[in-house]
Amino acid sequence: MKILSVEQLEQFRQDCIDEVKNRKMLISVCGGTGCMASGSANLFQKFKDELSKRNITFSFGDESGEEHGQEEIHLDISGCHGFCEMGPLVKILPLDILYVQVKAEDIEEIVEQTIMQEKVIERLLYHNPATGEASKGEHDIPFYKKQTRTVLAKCGNINPANVKDYIRHDGYKALGMVTKMEQKEICDIITDSNLRGRGGAGFVTGKKWALVQRQTEPIKYVVCNGDEGDPGAFMDRSIMEGDPHAVLEGLLVAGFATGAHQGYIYVRAEYPLAVRRLQLAIKQAEEYGFLGENILGSGFDFHIQINKGAGAFVCGEGSALTASIEGNRGMPRTKPPRTGEKGLWEKPTVLNNVETLANVPQIIAKGAAWFKSIGTENNSGTKAFALTGNINNTGLIEVPLGITLREIIYDIGGGIPGGKKFKAVQVGGPSGGCLCFMDSHLDLKMDFDSLKRVGAMIGSGGLVVMDEDTCIVEVARFFMNFTQKESCGKCIPCREGTKRMLEILEKIVAGRGTLEDLDLLEELAITVKTGSLCGLGQTAANPVLSTLQFFRDEYLAHVVDKKCPTGVCKNLTNYEIDPEKCRGCSKCARNCPANAISGKIKEPFVIDQSKCIKCGSCVTTCPFGAVKGA
């Protein structure tokens, strides 16, 4: 059916709500990529089998977007809940139960005990590792307590393949509202909300829109950047998978505000589930009249097309992305003119990332003041972060801008595994910076301006946590290796500078570095940062500059003492056998490929440093922990 007016949309919304009034219980199986990889699709089928076996009547929704029946017990899929460490997840409402790390063999017990008798199975609940305390519902779990989920509010709570589920939760309400507004009024609301771009430097979104709205060119475009190439980042992917209609609605509002009639979503081809759900969402939006001609009787036409990227990190940059959509090689161009003046096919173009656009419908529906009530001054709203690395609770989180790093790592992330010390966190992916273990940094506010003052940036929102066993020099080498490979090669500072910086870092971790190399590395980093054409090169040196600033002693240990303090860099590690712990079993000697270990049975063995090739096999094969790297 096509919905032809705002009034008809609101009546349809009420009809969708009425359809589920008789539901007494909802069984929701996480259908995010992480849980799917852990077998949640099998759990969904197992639930169907177990319910059928007991002759329990139930309805269900699935990846097709259809609702099969309207029974009291409803089985459904959802998007990502964020608590990836504990997947697969199963939520049961209204009992407010969240089961974690569910296996197929658990389903029979869940149906028998929880679905039929409403009993809680304690062993399947989340247990706090520190206290052993079980948490029944999602809101009782420390991981969620300090989060403020707005842009991720529907992820984990609706079936992302079902447009009716989206509409029940005020979906397309903002679209109906903007059809009654003037273009400038829409831009003013977004500007007043102080929504800043969630994909990079944090430019004010409303100012971008207003620039395009003022252009007299009749053809304009809006583009959604879903490329997300940072290692360890999956915020945009989870939104596209878990709430795809919010992305479409954000694009539609941007189109209304600027006078654009064509939208594009540029998605990584490595995100097949996101692509599939976006494609289904577009099809559903067209069927119901939210996309196409004369939307909601407003006289406004708008269409959306998906373009799949081939995985080039540089295509996250605006002009490189638009070049790729045009069918050209993804390479940035000089600015000005800006994308808002001449972007896609030389036409005025609004370019926002997924998270930015997904915030838009709620800002329109709830108002700019509501959005500004969250976060800090000049840093309104929330930010989604991908929390990974040496952290107990890995996953996707959404927190108010202005929360401290300490709260994220210890209250939400649950601290460092094994009780080890926190050392650093990489903020904002390869383009970000490393924050070290200092009270002034742990209590730093996580917002655009505070991070900029210490030489870091929010970027797309990756947070890679590192413990005391992490070699900071090797981290810098890893990120430089990534950015050097991803450089498009168009400008000399980035093409040549990142290559030379990588060569110096590889020299240092191999034990051949000099003090002169450190001076040259810093000089090159500043040159690359100031002389590169686009954001990739301009930020490529950030990990090097920040680690040199905060961890220079570790660089000096590699260069002067020829030692890696953490024992990560094998060429700088001397393996020694502790005679007090060695039992003389000869296992290390028998497994040494260089025949560098000798000794007598039942007496301590020794390592000949001149023969040792630093492979570390002696460490892994010793059953008594007698071999240590120093």
- Domains plus CATH for the chain? 21-137 (3.40.30.10), 171-372 (3.40.50.11540), 375-467 (3.10.20.600), 472-561 (1.20.1440.230), 574-629 (3.30.70.20)
Which residues neighbour 505 within 8 Å (Cβ) at sequence distance 6 or greater?
A: 473, 476, 477, 480, 521, 544
For residue 601, which amino acid is it? I
Which residues neighbour 453 within 8 Å (Cβ) at sequence distance 6 or greater?
A: none
The pair phi, psi for residue 211, each rounded to 5°, is -60, -45
The reported pLDDT for the residue numbered 496 is 95
Kindly report, residue by residue over 331-388, the tens digit of the pLDDT: 888 888 889 999 999 999 999 999 999 999 999 999 999 999 999 988 999 999 999 9
Q: Which residues of the chain have pLDDT under 70?
A: 431-440
The reported pLDDT for the residue numbered 462 is 84
The reported pLDDT for the residue numbered 312 is 82
CA-CA distance, 220 to 209, in Å (whole number)?
11
Dihedral over Cα of 469, 472, 475, 481: its sign? negative
The reported pLDDT for the residue numbered 454 is 79
Which residues neighbour 552 within 8 Å (Cβ) at sequence distance 6 or greater?
A: none
Dihedral over Cα of 448, 454, 456, 462: its sign? negative
The reported pLDDT for the residue numbered 434 is 64
Q: Which two tokens stand for residue 583?
A: 């039992």
CA-CA distance, 603 to 618, in Å (whole number)?
16
Q: Is 154 left (phi over 0), alpha (psi -120 to 50) or beta?
A: alpha
DSSP string over 453-470: HTT---TT-EEEEEETT-
Kindly report, residue by residue over 555-599, the tens digit of the pLDDT: 999 999 988 988 888 888 888 899 999 999 999 999 999 999 999
CA-CA distance, 526 to 42, in Å (whole number)?
52
The reported pLDDT for the residue numbered 436 is 63
The reported pLDDT for the residue numbered 433 is 64
Give Rg (Cα) of the chain: 27
**Residue 267: Cβ-neighbour burial (10 angstroms; 0-12, 13-18, 19+):** buried
The reported pLDDT for the residue numbered 437 is 58
The pair phi, psi for residue 607, each rounded to 5°, is -110, 130
Residue spans of alpha helices (H) in 289-377: 318-325, 354-366, 368-372
The reported pLDDT for the residue numbered 467 is 92
The DSSP output letter for 429 is G
CA-CA distance, 630 to 151, in Å (whole number)?
47
Residue spans of alpha helices (H) in 390-514: 405-406, 439-442, 448-453, 472-486, 492-509
CA-CA distance, 505 to 477, in Å (whole number)?
6
Q: Return the bridge partners of 375, or none.
A: 380
Kindly report, residue by residue over 428-448, the tens digit of the pLDDT: 777 666 666 565 688 889 999
